[in-house]
Amino acid sequence: MKKIAYSFIILLWSLSMFSQTIEFEQHIVSDTFTIGYDVSAADIDLDGKIDILACGKHNGGTVAWYRNEGSSSFTMSVLKEGFSGARSVRAADLNGDGDIDIVSAAWMINDIIYFVNDGNENFTEQIVDDDFKGAHTIDLKDVDEDGDLDILCSGFDYYGKNGEIAWWENDGADSISWTKQLISSRFQQSPFIFAEDMDNDGDKDVIACGELNNEILWWENNGAGVFISENMVDSPFYSAHTVIARDVDLDGDMDILGAGCMSSKLAWYENDGNQEFTKNPRPVLGEDIWLDAFDLDADGDQDLIAAGMSSTQLKWFENNGSEQFTKRDIDGGFSSGFAIVPANMDSDGDIDLLAIGYASGTISWFENDLDSTTSIRQEIASGQIMLKVFPNPCVEQLSIYDINGTAKVISIYSSSGELLRKMSSAGKETIINTGTLPKGLLIIETRFPDNSIRTTKVIRQ
């Protein structure tokens, strides 16, 4: 196994970055989805276009997906109605058959349901757990490192003030059996759980929050799905509602983003590499409920996106490259945002935004007007930069653009220095499928005929 020195990993960007002002245009998918709670993005039918999943109080509790037909046209398919308190929906291939399944949780009836895709988008409903108090937010990760995806869920028991966080072990069988594994019961109400490798040891740790406890914590995974330590991140963080892990400062470790819904608090917590976290508050929106990070303007740093429950509150925060953020409006009269996620909805190479409105009953996507491909090529052609790796962060695809077409060999390394992939350059532009690469920090090494090397840090999300 080839290794590279750790000092190589922490090199700063070795190329000049560009900046471009971006705007977002709203496209309404539905304005009749009453009291929408959650939205997420996935290519459900595997046709290369990003589809939409949504859930909420609509028709007594609805879980649905919207097929992306192209040209901003979407067709709704209902998975379940009467699912009282439908609060969260996520999608991934859970049974390893190559198609995309769906999981949803309903807090009022304490249910977690798994919708099995037969490959033709016909879904069969299976119960994961019908007695998890206040089943609230879902995450899908391989907790025990056995090669299949497990289910995590937070418990927001509104009536009993209970707040377990737990994961359900996938046994890997064709017809999956799920076994509940408790992580913690310290919270009175836990609205959010998220799994990510917080200590860079290769397994999925857990971060979660307690809305009544006003706390954010993380739990260390020993690699087998056993959580061996409980670690405080912040207390008090009033009405803590959302916690997500991203590498905000692109230093190779996972930071934490938090939003407090009733306290109007937004913050990101910088991980120093030893899991000591420094709080960096952000400007408030009003009943802030969501905070995430992605490079929206393709300038090589992580911007922030946020939603607040008060009127017309969707914002993004432009990063100047040193984690100094400027608040920008997202126009469209979108009322009472409840969730906002980054996704390339129109397959044009830049990152758009997908959001759901609680009060307005609206599901919308917001088109990013950044022409990332044209802009990058114009910058390269003008001689401002000689090599560009984009988009950053990436999800399924990465492009390496070399003005002279002289790059010889491209190598991709993990954050620990493991060689993941090595290939010959395809000329001026080499397109790499990153869908099978591990999430997190990747190091791209581009070698030229004179044996000079350019290195770039990329985050795969």
> 352 and 411 share a domain?
no
Same domain, 87 and 134: yes
Write the pLDDT tens digit of every residue in 249-280. Answer: 988 899 999 999 876 689 999 999 999 999 99
Between 434 and 7, name the one with better pLDDT: 434
Domain membership flag for residue 118: yes
Residues 391, 358 share a domain:
no
pLDDT tens digits, 280-310: 988 766 668 899 998 898 777 889 999 887 7
- State whether 349 and 281 are in the same domain: yes
Phi and psi based region of residue 396 (left: phi greater than 0; alpha: psi -120 to 50; beta: remaining): alpha
Together in a domain, 357 and 401? no
pLDDT tens readout for residues 150-180: 999 999 988 777 789 999 999 999 899 999 9
User: What is the CATH classification number for the domain harbouring 91?
Assistant: 2.130.10.130
**Which domain range does residue 401 map to?**
6-10+385-460
State percent of the chain over pLDDT 70: 88
For all residues of the chain together, what is the average pLDDT?
Answer: 86
pTM of the model: 0.81
Q: What is the domain count for the chain? A: 2
DSSP for 357-418 reads ETTT--EEEEEE---HHHHHHHHHHTTS-SEEEESSSBSSEEEEEETTS---EEEEEETT--
* 334 domain-assigned: yes
Instruction: Tell me: do 448 and 320 sit in the same domain.
Output: no
pLDDT at 17 over 50: no
In a domain, 376, yes or no: no
Instruction: Return the higher-pLDDT residue of 111 and 249.
Output: 111
Residues 364, 443 within the same domain: no
**Looking at the domain assignment, is residue 348 inside a domain?**
yes
The answer on 264 and 393 residing in a single domain is no
Residue type at 41 in one-letter notation: A
Residue 304 and residue 222 share a domain: yes
Per-residue pLDDT tens digits for 31-63 = 999 899 999 999 999 888 899 999 999 999 999
The amino acid that residue 50 corresponds to is I
Residue 379 is assigned to a structural domain of this protein: no
- 115 falls within a domain: yes
Q: Helices (DSSP H) in 241-371: which residue ranges?
A: none
Tell me: do 191 and 223 sit in the same domain: yes
